[in-house]
C-alpha cells in the first residue's frame, strides 16, 4: 500500500506541474518582429511635391533625414528663395500668405488632418484638413505659387488640366481602384 500511495502522490505532482505549464503565457507564439530596429533612413513625405519642387537636388536626401520639428529652421530660407525664383512676381497668394509665411508653412512637411470634420486638401472652403484620393492637389498648389492674390494670375500655370484619376475610386474600403 505504501508504494501505491507514493506513485499516487508522484502522479498528482506530475499532473500539477504539467497543468501549471499549460497555464503559462508562453503558449502564445512570440511576435517575429518585436525588438527589431529600423535605422536606415529611406523616404519621408506628407504634402505632395514639397521635397521635389522646393528643395535643391543636393538636399533631397538631407530633407528625408530631417525630422519635421527641425525642418522649418533647416529649410524655410531655401524654400522661400525657391518660391521667389519660380515666381519672381510673388507677393501674396489667394490664401493671403506672403512669401515668408507660405514658405514657413511648406517647410514643415506634415499633413494636417481634422479628426472632427471635413477632411480635404482644398474644397473651396476647407483648407488643408486632410487629403482625399480625389483632391486635385496640383491645381491647388500651383494656384498658391503662381495665382497671385486672386488666384487667377498666370492662367497657363495654375492648372495642369488633369482633374481626375485614370480610374474611378471606390466608395468602400480599400477606396483605391484595382491595379492595371
Partner 1 sequence: MKRKFWIGAGALLLCGGGILWASDHGDAPAVSAKPTDITDIYAFQSPENANDMVFIGNVQGLLTPAATGKATFDPNTMIEFNIDNTGDNIEDLVIQCVPTNGKMYIYGPVKPVQPGLTSKISGNAAVIAEITPYVAATPSITSKNGMKVFAGPRDDPFFFDVGQYVKFVSGEATGFNNPGTDALAGTNVMSVVLQLPKSSLNSSGSINVWLETKQKK
State how far the Cα of 65 lies from the Cα of 80, in Å rounded to an integer: 20
Task: Count other C-beta atoms under 10 Å from residue 76's C-beta.
Answer: 18
User: With respect to partner 1, which residue has the nearer C-beta, 13 or 65?
Assistant: 65
Q: Which of 25, 26, 27, 89 contacts partner 1 by CB under 8 A?
A: 89
What residues pair up with 92 in beta bridges, in sequence order?
Answer: 98
Under rule CB under 8 A, residue 118 binds partner 1? yes
User: With respect to partner 1, which residue has the nearer C-beta, 18 or 89?
Assistant: 89
State how far the Cα of 170 lies from the Cα of 177, in Å rounded to an integer: 6
User: With respect to partner 1, which residue has the nearer C-beta, 8 or 164?
Assistant: 164
How far is residue 9 from each of residues 19, 20, 22, 23, measured CA to CA in Å?
A: 15, 16, 20, 21
Q: Which of 9, 12, 14, 65 contacts partner 1 by CB under 8 A?
A: 65
Under rule CB under 8 A, residue 172 binds partner 1? yes
Closest distance to partner 1 from the beta carbon of 64 (Å): 6
User: With respect to partner 1, which residue has the nearer C-beta, 21 or 33?
Assistant: 33
Under rule CB under 8 A, residue 17 binds partner 1? no
Coil vs helix vs strand at 98: strand
Site for partner 1 in 25-64 (CB under 8 A): 31-46, 48-53, 56-58, 60-61, 63-64
Q: How distant is the alpha carbon of residue 68 from its chain centre?
A: 11
The closest of 147, 132, 30, 34 to 86, measured between CA atoms, is 147
Q: Which of 14, 77, 132, 152 contacts partner 1 by CB under 8 A?
A: 132
User: With respect to partner 1, which residue has the nearer C-beta, 10 or 41?
Assistant: 41
Amino acid at each position: 500500500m505504501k508504494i501505491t500511495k507514493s506513485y499516487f502522490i508522484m502522479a498528482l505532482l506530475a499532473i500539477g506541474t504539467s497543468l501549471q505549464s499549460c497555464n503559462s503565457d508562453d503558449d502564445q507564439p512570440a511576435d517575429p518582429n518585436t525588438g527589431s530596429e529600423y535605422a536606415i533612413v529611406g523616404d519621408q513625405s506628407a504634402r505632395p511635391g514639397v521635397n521635389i519642387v522646393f528643395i535643391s537636388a543636393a538636399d533631397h536626401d538631407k530633407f528625408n533625414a530631417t525630422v519635421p520639428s527641425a525642418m522649418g529652421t533647416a529649410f524655410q530660407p531655401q524654400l522661400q528663395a525657391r518660391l521667389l525664383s519660380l515666381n519672381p512676381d510673388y507677393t501674396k497668394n489667394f490664401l493671403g500668405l506672403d512669401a515668408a509665411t507660405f514658405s514657413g508653412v511648406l517647410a514643415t512637411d506634415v499633413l494636417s488632418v481634422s479628426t472632427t470634420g471635413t477632411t480635404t486638401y482644398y474644397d473651396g472652403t476647407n483648407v488643408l484638413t486632410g487629403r482625399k484620393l480625389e483632391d486635385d492637389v496640383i491645381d491647388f498648389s500651383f494656384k498658391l505659387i503662381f495665382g497671385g492674390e486672386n488666384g487667377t494670375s498666370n492662367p497657363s500655370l495654375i492648372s495642369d488640366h488633369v482633374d481626375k484619376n485614370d480610374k474611378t475610386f471606390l466608395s468602400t474600403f480599400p477606396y483605391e481602384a484595382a491595379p492595371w
